Amino acid sequence: METEDYIKKIREVEEDSTIKSVTKIGLCRRWAKMTMDKLRERFPEIAIEAREVDVSPNLQHTFLRIIIPGNKPLLWDGVGTLKIRPFCGYEDEAPTYLQNSRSDMINNI
């Protein structure tokens, strides 16, 4: 499957009513965990990791890093923040707020 086809199929997860219910600012970690679990179920061949970044002192934001075999990594921030719109695209084209991220603790649960 081509990368653009993967992106389209991956984004279909947004239509899941359970995921829609947590696609709200302030619920990014919950969104990331539920979306990550759903994607792992549907696409066992891709690597998915939750990433965390500091958006301000004492405020973290969680999003997904997705690696499709043979392609550049994608970042998917399906929730965004109060000041920043959601993003889904290549890691090297990502907004600066998604850079310098670290592994999120939800990867271990």
* Beta-bridge mates of residue 60: 54
Tens digits of residue pLDDT in 28-86: 999 999 999 999 999 999 999 999 999 888 889 999 999 998 899 999 999 998 888 89
100, 53 contact by CB (below 8 A): yes
In angstroms, the CA 48 to CA 70 distance is 14
Neighbours of 68 (CB within 10 A): 20
Helix (H) or strand (E) holding 48: strand 47-56
Q: pTM to 2 decimals?
A: 0.91
Tens digits of residue pLDDT in 11-34: 899 899 999 999 999 999 999 999
Domain boundaries in the chain? 3-108
